[in-house]
Each structure stands twice: as C-alpha cells, then as structure tokens.
Amino acid sequence: MQADPSKSSASSSPAARPPERTAILIAMALVLLYVLWTLRTSQSPSARPVAPPNSAGPAAVTAEMIPLVSGDEPIVEIFTKAGCPVCHTIPGIPGANGQVGPPLTLGVTGPQRLADPSYRGAARTVHEYVVESVVDPSVFVAQGYPERTMPAWYGTKLSGLALQKIAEYLEQETGNNLGK
C-alpha cells in the first residue's frame, strides 16, 4: 500500500503552518504587552519612593528602599532598628551612647539650631527640623561634628509613621533623663 502524497504533504505544507505561526506571534505579542505594562506601572509617579530633593534615586524598587521599621513598633525599637544609637546619645533609649553625631536633645538644641545663622533649611518647628534632618542631613550639620556622616538614605529607609514618631519623641527631649 502506497501512501497518498497529498495527505503526507498537507501536514508539512505552508498552508498548515499559518495557524501555528499566528499562535506564536500572538503569544509573543502578549509577552511584550505584559513587559511594557510592568515597566509602565513600576515607573508611575505614585510607585516612586520619596527621595530628598536633588537626589538621583534608583528607578525601580530595591531591597534598600524597604523601610527598616513600619512605625508600629515601640519607640525604642524604632531607634534601635534604624541604628540611631550607634552614632547618637538619645535620652531614654537604652544603649544610645554614640559619640559620632550630636546628642539628640532637640527639646533644647532644636530651637538653637533653627536660629543658627548657618541653618539653610526650611523647617519652622523642631518637629519639622527633625524630619528635615533625617531626610536631608546636609541642610544643617551641628557645630563640632563632621559633615556627610549621617547617611542620606535614611529618608527612604524610614516609613512616614516611624519618622513622625522619631520627630515627636525628639522634639520633647531635653536631656534630663540621660543615664536613666
């Protein structure tokens, strides 16, 4: 029995390939649309992290941009996880005996810093000053301390709630409970 040449060539003929090629082209188009949609979504303004003015930040979310703390933690844990005690003395925070940065007794020093002629920031209150100092530490460096020591990335590593809690805590601190 001899095979019918019209049947065997039909499966490999160009007429049988267009549906397969069409399916491949459609699949490729869907993948391309997905990639374009993903890129558009990750670059939308609402998806971008808050960064200090005049800073060039990464275009995509990275592990470094994930907050150290959510702000739901107790204040001691917020300061500790953020690493503040390593460089600063902070009243009421156990182990916060750092000497690299100034003591964080902003209930006393905050108004003095705002009135300092070398202060270039926009803050009008101690609370605003604390937030500004974390987000853009180069705006004002306390006298007697080195410039560019405070990491500028804290503004992207602390959640808004954590930053608010830090500011609320520090604007009340006068240093009366140092050593307690």
pTM, to two decimals: 0.61
Mean pLDDT to the nearest integer, 164-172: 96
Cβ-based neighbours of 71, under 8 Å, separated by 6 or more = 78, 159, 160, 161, 162, 163, 164, 165
Counting Cβ atoms within 10 Å, is residue 30 exposed (0-12), middle (13-18) or buried (19+)? exposed
- Name the strand (E) or helix (H) holding 75: helix 75-82
* H/E element, 160: helix 160-170
The band of 8, judged by pLDDT with boundaries at 50, 70 and 90, is very low
Domain ranges of the chain: 5-47, 63-170
CB burial of 125-143 (b: ≥16 within 10 Å; e: otherwise) equals ebbbbbbbbbbbbebbbee
Segment 105-114 mean pLDDT: 96
Rounded CA separation 45/134 (Å): 23
Rounded to whole angstroms, the Cα distance separating 87 from 96 reads 8
The per-residue pLDDT for range 13-60, each reduced to its tens digit, is: 555 556 777 777 776 766 666 666 566 544 444 444 444 445 454 456
Distance (Å) of CA 164 to CA 7, 56, 90, 105: 77, 24, 16, 16
pLDDT per position as a tens digit, 59-71: 565 655 566 788 8
Name the residue with tokens 């869907």. 30
Q: How many CB atoms lie within 10 A of CB 41?
A: 10
- Provide the mean pLDDT of the chain: 78
